[in-house]
Amino acid sequence: MPTAMESTIDAQETALREALAGIVARRQDALARFYDETVSRVYGLALRITARSDAAEEIAADVYMQVWNQAGRFDQGRGCVLAWLLTICRSRAIDYLRRADQAESWAAPPEAEGSAADDPQDLLMALESGRAVAVALEALPPLQRQMLALAFFRGLTHEDIARHFPLPLGTVKTHIRKALAGLRKSLSSRMRAGALRRS
C-alpha cells in the first residue's frame, strides 16, 4: 500500500511525463505547465551552484530551451523526470562557471603608448559610463535584460531569441523595444544628473 508521500511523488511524475509528451508534440502549453511545476527547483539549484541571481535566470532559460529541443531524449527507464531535469541544470550551471572562469583568465590587451586610456579623466569617464550601463541594465525586468544580453552580447537575432525562450517573434521584438527605451531613459536621466552636479 503506497504512502501519501509516495502517491504524491507518483502523481507529480505522471504529470511531468505527460507534460514532456506534450513538449515532444511541440505544444507550448505543455512547456508552460512543465515550467510552472519545476522552475523553482531549477532556479534554486542554479542559484546554489553559481551564487548569482542573474546567472541562475540565464541558466534556467537555457535549461527550458534544452527541454523544448530535447524532450524526446528522456529515457523513462533511467530515472524520474525531475532528476533528468536537474542533471541538465547542473551541467548548464557548471558550463556557466567554466565560461566565467575562462573570461576572467583573459588578460586585458595592452594599451598603445599615448592612448586615451592614459588620461585619468578619460579613464574615469569610461568607468562611470560602464557603471551607468550596468545600473540601467540591472533596473530592467529580468526577461528584458536577458533578451538584450542575447541580442547585444551574444549577437543573436530576434528570430534566434524567439526560438531560445521560446516566444512569438512579435513578443520578443516588443520586449527588446521596451528594454531599449528603458535603457535610454535611465541613461539619459543619469547623464542629466551628472551634468547638473558638474554645473
Q: pLDDT value at position 177?
A: 85
From residue 198, give the alpha-carbon distance in Å to each of 119, 132, 191, 193. Answer: 19, 16, 11, 9
Looking at beta carbons, which pairs linking 151-160 to residues 24 or more positions away fall under 8 Å?
A: 151/176
pTM score > 0.85 for this model? no
Instruction: Report residue 20's pLDDT band, with 50, 70 and 90 as the boundaries.
Output: very high
pLDDT at residue 173, as a whole number = 86
CB-neighbour burial class of residue 103 (10 A; exposed 0-12, middle 13-18, buried 19+): exposed
Same CATH topology for 10-105 and 116-199: the answer is no
pLDDT at 104: 47
Q: Tens of pLDDT along 133-160? A: 667 777 888 888 888 777 766 677 888 8
pLDDT at 89: 92
pLDDT given at position 71: 92
Is residue 193 over pLDDT 80? no
Per the model's pLDDT, the better-predicted residue between 193 and 34 turns out to be 34
Give 164-188 pLDDT, tens digit per residue: 888 888 888 888 888 888 877 776 7
List the domain boundaries for the chain: 10-105, 116-199
Secondary structure (3-state) at 177: helix
Contact 108, 123 (CB under 8 A): no
Who wins on pLDDT, 23 or 163? 23
pLDDT value for 112: 35
The pLDDT of residue 197 is 53
Q: Is the peptide bond before 166 cis (omega within 30 degrees of 0)?
A: yes
pLDDT of residue 9: 61
Q: Which CATH architecture has domain 10-105?
A: Orthogonal Bundle (1.10)
- The answer to whether the beta carbons of residues 71 and 38 sit under 8 Å apart is no
Q: Which residue shows C-alpha cell 579623466?
A: 121
Contacts of 86 (CB under 8 A, 6+ apart): 41, 42, 45
Query: 84-133 pLDDT, tens per residue?
Result: 999 999 999 888 888 776 554 433 333 433 333 344 444 444 444 556 66
CATH of domain 116-199: 1.10.10.10
